[in-house]
Amino acid sequence: MEYFVQQLINGLTLGSIYGLIAIGYTMVYGIIGMINFAHGDIFMIGAFVALIALIAIGLTAGAGLVIVILALLLALLIAMALTAIYGWTVERFAYRPLRTSFRLAPLITAIGMSIVLQNFVQVTQGARVKPLQPIVTGGYEIMRTTTEHGEFIVLVSNIQILIILTTVLLMAVFALIIARTPLGRAQRACEQDRTMAALLGINVDRTISLTFVIGAALASVAGLMYLLYYGVIDFFIGFVAGIKAFTAAVLGGIGSLPGAMLGGLIIGLIETFWSAYFTIEYKDVAAFSILVVVLIFMPSGLLGRPEVEKV
């Protein structure tokens, strides 16, 4: 039981990171019907910007609690701002000119932008992994048991608490933005009918650009959380995490924000429990197999709505 609880905590932490990345996929698809395959690399850039910011600040593990909090907030703001600029630039120069083109063109462009961003970071930052010493340390003991094989302690670390609480807070704030603000109403209007939204006075281009900016900012938060949790990053983490987050978005129902978070949690739990109870080499196979099964019986995903074709 104790081992199960520990893996549950680990799975929820990993799933929270996937969920934050998956929101960017589902937002863009919900408004313009395009899969932004470069979003995973935006997440990777957010992690690198956060690492550079933390190194520039000079934060160390022995710093006081207040200093650590202020430094992390500053690094987070820097990462969100600069990563949002990357997101806006990608939308403005790579996707907007092809918005009215045939559907395959934006998909090819998205894959091309993913490769460009990967190689840009590889050239500028190097191909080796970049480590970060532990900054958020410590944790709390939840359960303890003694068996014939020794003692097992269930721990929840402070970084795990930080990741889960940050994810819950951002989801709550973002849900309020979508439901209660003019930007949220404009996004929902563009999702239903961009032409009619433009006729009603909504600036569609600005709304789509802001959607990319918000998605990139959320991805940068996930990048910082990933950096603090694992302590190492490289230029390739965006591809792997991006594919997992895209799978989470499809699993939960692409176009549904709660579905993106639910899908992220499910993928994180599947990976963690499979690695814990079976062989770690096939954890990705298990996650994608669950996706295939869900899409066979529920093509719209767990929380997605069937797409109605307008004629």
Mean pLDDT of the chain: 88
Residue 192 domain-assigned?
A: no
Residue 85 domain-assigned?
A: yes
Please state, in angstroms and rounded to a whole number, the distance separating the CA atoms of residues 121 and 115.
10
pLDDT tens track for 232-252: 999 999 988 888 898 898 888
- Structural domain harbouring 208: 2-165+203-297
Residue 196 domain-assigned?
A: no
Q: Give SS3 for 116.
A: helix
pLDDT tens track for 175-204: 888 888 999 899 889 888 888 999 989 999
Residue 147's φ and ψ, nearest 5 degrees, are: -120, 180
Q: Is the pTM of this model over 0.85?
A: yes
Please compute the mean of the pLDDT values over residues 67-85 and round it to a whole number: 92
Residue 31 domain-assigned?
A: yes
Residue 311 domain-assigned?
A: no
Q: Which residues contact 40 (CB under 8 A, 6 or more apart)?
A: 21, 114, 238, 239, 240, 241, 242, 243, 245, 246
Residue 307 domain-assigned?
A: no
Please state, in angstroms and rounded to a whole number, the distance separating the CA atoms of residues 75 and 80.
9
Residue 193 domain-assigned?
A: no
Please state, in angstroms and rounded to a whole number, the distance separating the CA atoms of residues 188 and 23.
15
Determine which helix (DSSP H) or strand (DSSP E) holds 156, and give its type and residue range.
Answer: strand 150-157
pLDDT of residue 229: 94
Residue 310 domain-assigned?
A: no
Q: How many domains does the chain have?
A: 1
